[in-house]
Amino acid sequence: MGNRVIANLTTKPGEKLELVRVTKRYGSIVAVDGIDLTVPGGTYCCILGPSGCGKTSTLRMIAGHEAISDGEIVVGASVVNGLPPARRGTAMMFQNYALFPHMSCLDNVAFALKMRGIAKDARHEAAGQMLGMMELADYAERLPAHLSGGQQQRVALARALITEPQLLLLDEPLSALDPFLRIGMRAELKRLQRTLGISFLHVTHSQEEAMALADLVVVMNEGRIAQAGSPRELYNAPTSEFVARFIGGHNVIRLHDKPYALRSDRITVTPQGESEVRSVEFLGNSVKIGLVSPHGALTATQSDSAFFSAPLNPGDAVGVSWRQDDLHPLA
């Protein structure tokens, strides 16, 4: 049993996910408003957006923890709207990990197989292999309270993956970790997704997290999909003022009453001019310069070497310029 679980997890391709006009209403409130989305099998997809945009409701509908109000959820060739979570080919890792505090790591991971009636020796063998895959074999008998946050997260991942899902759903999985550990776990999640070949659907507030992890980024706003595409597509070609501002790294400039996005690293700052430096933030390998200009508030980004070759201070008068073809029109 254990060998079969691990072999299938590392070789079986993931199924495609399709959302067709999926809607979620809570009384008169429309939380998710008729969204269409296709996530190809084997894709790392991040759903990104502000609080209340509908991203977690979308994830919970896919998982089967929320009933959909309208539309269809299709995993592979099957419409799964009416199926219970255990029969959807999906597994969900919750934000708080939801580990059983009185169970060992081994029993936490084996729990889903216990619910399926798998014999104790077989489920423990499979759970042990999953813990080994997460580099936690030496922690099998520990209780969750005796683990670090990152170790608890890996136990929760092992527990979800042992069910052989075609789609792993992750609700803000890194939000409880400190910044240093978060970066390490980002790399671990991406490695796991590539190794397993299944789709990961990952809800996050963090633009940096989505850009670092995703093959496909879906930006939501007010219950709708504002834009979906690769991280590079969204960063270089946002389609709306909302996406440009939310993804970050852009200024929105109005010329002839039309909005344009301008990347902060495409602004040239020169001594003397009609603009003023308002703030300077050293970020390690770059420096962010806040400006007040005739075009409104702007942010410019320079490499640390470029900035410190001619450093600026708040209150300095400067000129700002950019190439015309660096302006990207917005809808």
Tell me the domain boundaries of the chain: 2-236, 253-329
* Range 54-73 average pLDDT: 96
* Least confident among 94-98, 120-124, 183-187, 272-276: 94-98
Percent of the chain exceeding pLDDT 90 equals 78
Give the per-residue SS3 of 189-207: HHHHHHHHCCEEEEEECCH
- Kindly report the average pLDDT of the chain as a whole number: 91
* Least confident among 3-17, 247-261, 282-296: 3-17
Does the pLDDT of residue 184 top 70, yes or no? yes
Considering only CA atoms, which of 72, 71, 69, 73 is closest in space to residue 30?
69
* Range 84-107 average pLDDT: 90
pLDDT class for 12, splitting at 50, 70, 90?
low
pLDDT at 93: 87
Considering only CA atoms, which of 228, 270, 214, 218 is closest in space to residue 54?
218
pLDDT class for 6, splitting at 50, 70, 90?
very low
**Domain 2-236 indexed as CATH 3.40.50.300:** yes
pLDDT class for 176, splitting at 50, 70, 90?
confident
Considering only CA atoms, which of 53, 95, 15, 62 is closest in space to residue 224?
53
Considering only CA atoms, which of 87, 306, 142, 239 is closest in space to residue 154?
142
For domain 253-329, which CATH number applies: 3.40.225.10, 3.40.50.1220, 3.40.630.10, 2.40.50.100? 2.40.50.100
* Range 243-254 average pLDDT: 94
How far does Cα 292 stand from its chain's mean position? 33
DSSP H helical ranges for the chain: 2-11, 55-63, 105-115, 120-133, 149-161, 179-196, 207-213, 231-236, 241-247, 304-309
What does pTM read for this prediction? 0.87
How far is the C-alpha of 279 from the C-alpha of 170, rounded, in Å?
37
In angstroms, how far is the first alpha carbon of the chain from the final one? 54
pLDDT at 5: 38
pLDDT class for 180, splitting at 50, 70, 90?
confident
pLDDT tens for 256-270 read 889 999 999 999 999
pLDDT at 14: 74
Percent of the chain exceeding pLDDT 70 equals 96
pLDDT tens for 39-52 read 999 999 999 999 99
